[in-house]
Chains A and B, each alone.
Chain A
């Protein structure tokens, strides 16, 4: 016996069934809380990933204010400096430039407004998934002969409205940076899967020629190794005066807000688990204290101080809480890892959320989930033991002995 704490552990073994029930309640609650937190985080990451891959990237450098009020002439003050400051940070994996301009696309009698985006055909694929997730046709070629038709990849939505298909010619009319008319004929070489998209991608060089934007850049789109590093890169970037670097949360404020709101609901689940643990532990220990009233009387007669009675009771709860929360933490972490690797396909039950369509549940482990949640549960259980412990310590020795 290693003192009162060891005695408390043995006391746990007295009512095996009750201990097992309370223990599995704590462990189960912890595991569920860890898993649900992991699924929340995983889903957020998945959503952010989908959203950033399909257009904006993890972060972007633009001229200050371009994001809210895009203007053809609001190009980066110093694109080279912006690219350098982004690439200087080890978390940044890729950077790709874009120019863009609104205009009218037309085929036959149909005319539809859309956004013309000039991208680097080679590097675009490393910041977004547009080149890799085409519905039909092929991505933009790296080079083109002077007399070849100008290739363009259209969003499915835009192309549908134009009643056009791969191989068709679509005309574009807009304004160039020098005030002249920008008019061109594109040949559709590929189509994205975005049914509500209204963009057409062309080679950066073609777009710059058409819009008279030689060497200029509207957006420098970047991808980092982990979403966790976005803020770090944004804070660490030192673009030229007049240019800014913003993360996905600033670029997609709607998505960021949805995630914040959902996070709050995740805490509510944790709070419910904590309540269950609190009541379970309090109940178990109150029953134990009640059953052992006479024994506490004996311990008091032998000279056990009130504080030592508190220690004995708290230690019993502590053992139960720490053991069960550890088991629950491990189980929850394992379950999270399993879901994370396999993913749970949602089948037809895709969820539209913050402008993103989710088709799988994904879970990721975090220190907060694997260590933080079990620790909070264990602390909560100790808190729940405070009432029974206090009651035990306040027993009057002679009355306890009469019980």
Chain B
């Protein structure tokens, strides 16, 4: 079964200038283990799409379901729980919680899940080891480089073993070496844990890593192809 399915998913924004069709009738499935890049120019609707897939927003019309459950049927608490238990986010701007150390940031989702403290800590430490930050556990975000912060963010997104990891322009703030390293890391994690990854980007270097490449234009799917590597 697919992890996420979209059927005619549409998201309009009402603005003073009129209605913006950010996403306009999109239909596709995301399958377990996909390593998928959603590409498209700025304003093509990538972030809008990720917000729907990530249960942060609901479609204006059409159906978006995660694990077979339509978002339209879920209230704020149920959506929060769905995000907590099934989805990991990696943001462009890292978005670590500034008052928490690296390991506490990684522990946060497990804290919400009610995982006991000792288990939380050992799993978070292990995950930070996996992303190569095993010796920076107790650093606050402001004492880490951009690349290091993004690795913490990846560890945070993955530690609770989500079905789906969503990354909206994760390399936009990184130099090319750090971008490459981050993509290597995520590709490895995808293979090792069969975690499903969806990236949004307009960075060709990132597109080149995709094993499924979907192009968006003006809120519509322009192409969707699987690439054997």
What residues of chain A have their CB less than 8 Å away from a CB belonging to chain B? Answer: 1, 3-4, 7, 10-11, 13-14, 294-295, 298-308, 396-398, 401
Cα–Cα distance between A303 and B111 once the two chains are bound (Å): 11
Distance A294 CA – B97 CA, assembled complex (angstroms): 11
Chain A residue at smallest Cβ distance from B156: A302
B97 and A298: CB pair below 8 A?
A: yes
- Nearest 6 CB-CB pairings of A with B: A303-B84, A10-B99, A303-B83, A305-B80, A298-B95, A397-B56
Report how far A194 CA is from B80 CA in the complex, Å: 78
Residues in B with CB closer than 8 Å to A299 are 97
Contact with A along B53-96 (1 / 0, CB 8 A): 01011000000000000000000110011111101010100010
Contact A301 B99 (CB under 8 A): no
- In the assembled complex, the Cα of A286 lies from the Cα of B197 at a distance in Å of 37
Asked whether B77 lies within 8 Å of A303 as measured between CB atoms, the reply is no
Q: Are B77 and A306 interface neighbours, CB within 8 A?
A: yes
A306–B76 contact, CB under 8 A? yes
- State the CA gap A301–B153 with chains docked (Å): 13
Are A302 and B108 closer than 8 Å at their CB atoms? yes
Taking CB as reference atom, which chain A residue is nearest B153? A298
Query: In the assembled complex, how far is the CB of residue B41 from the closest CB belonging to chain A, in whole angstroms?
Result: 19
Q: Which of A7, A302, A397, A401 gathers most chain B CB within 10 Å?
A: A302
Q: Which chain B residue shows the least CB distance to A10?
A: B99
Q: Which residue of the partner chain, among A10, A11, A301, contacts B83 with CB atoms under 8 Å?
A: A301
Q: A398 contacts B84, CB within 8 Å?
A: no
Q: Which of B107, B109, B112 contacts A1 (CB 8 A)?
A: B107
Which residue on chain B has the smallest CB distance to residue A7?
Answer: B99
Q: Closest CB of chain A to B111's CB: distance in Å? A: 6
Q: B100 on the interface (CB 8 Å rule)?
A: yes
B51 in contact (CB, < 8 A): yes
Query: A295 with B97: in contact, given A301-B89, A398-B56 (CB under 8 Å)?
Result: yes
Please tell me if the beta carbons of A301 and B54 are within 8 angstroms of each other in the complex: yes
* A299: nearest chain-B partner, CB-CB: B97
- What chain B residues lie within 8 Å of A397 (beta carbons)? 51, 56-57
Interface size on B, residues (CB 8 A): 27
How many Å lie between the Cα of A186 and that of B86 in the bound state?
103
User: Which residues from chain A contact B107 at a C-beta distance below 8 Å?
Assistant: 1
CA A300 to CA B107, docked complex, whole Å: 15
Q: Give the docked Cα–Cα distance between A123 and B76 (Å).
A: 78
In the complex where A1-B100, A1-B107, A14-B98 touch, is A302 in contact with B77 (Cβ < 8 A)?
no
Hey, which chain B residues are within 8 Å of A13, CB to CB? 99
User: Known: A3-B111, A397-B56. Is A304-B80 also a contact (CB below 8 A)?
Assistant: yes
Could you say which residues of chain A place their CB within 8 Å of the CB of B84? 302-304
- Can you name the residue of chain B whose Cβ is closest to the Cβ of A294? B95
Q: Are B77 and A307 in contact (CB under 8 A)?
A: yes
The answer to whether B169 has its CB under 8 Å from any CB of chain A is no
Contact with A along B102-137 (1 / 0, CB 8 A): 001001110110000000000000000000000000
C-alpha spacing A397/B54, complex, angstroms? 11
Closest to B160 in A: A303
Chain B residues in 8 Å Cβ range of A1 = 100, 104, 107, 111
Q: Which of A13, A300, A301 has the most CB of B within 10 A?
A: A301
Flag if A303 contacts B112 (CB, 8 Å). Answer: yes
Q: Sample 29 A-B pairs with CB under 8 A, ordered by A number.
A: A1-B100, A4-B111, A7-B97, A10-B99, A13-B99, A294-B95, A295-B97, A300-B80, A301-B54, A301-B56, A301-B83, A301-B89, A301-B91, A302-B83, A302-B108, A302-B112, A303-B80, A303-B81, A303-B85, A303-B87, A303-B112, A304-B80, A305-B112, A306-B77, A397-B56, A398-B51, A398-B56, A401-B56, A401-B91
Chain A residues, Cβ within 8 Å of B85: 303
User: Smallest CB-CB separation from A309: which chain B residue?
Assistant: B80
Which residue of the partner chain A has the closest CB to B113? Answer: A303
User: Among B82, B87, B91, B100, which residue has its beta carbon within 8 angstroms of that of A7?
Assistant: B100
- Report the separation of the CA atoms of residues A7 and B83 in the bound assembly, to the nearest whole angstrom: 21
A151 to B190, CA, bound (A): 111
Which of chain B's residues has its CB closest to A305's CB? B80
A8 CB to closest chain B CB (Å) equals 9
Residues of chain A contacted by B56 (CB below 8 angstroms): 300-301, 397-398, 401
With both beta carbons as reference points, the residue of chain B lying nearest to A12 in the complex is identified as B99
Q: Which residues of B contact A306 (CB under 8 A)?
A: 76-77, 80
- Taking the closest CB of chain A, its distance from the CB of B112, in whole angstroms, is 5
Q: Give complex CA distance A295, B104 in Å.
A: 15
A47 to B155, CA, bound (A): 70
How far, in angstroms, from A306 to B80 measured CA to CA in the complex? 8
State the Cβ distance, B123 to closest chain A Cβ, in Å: 15
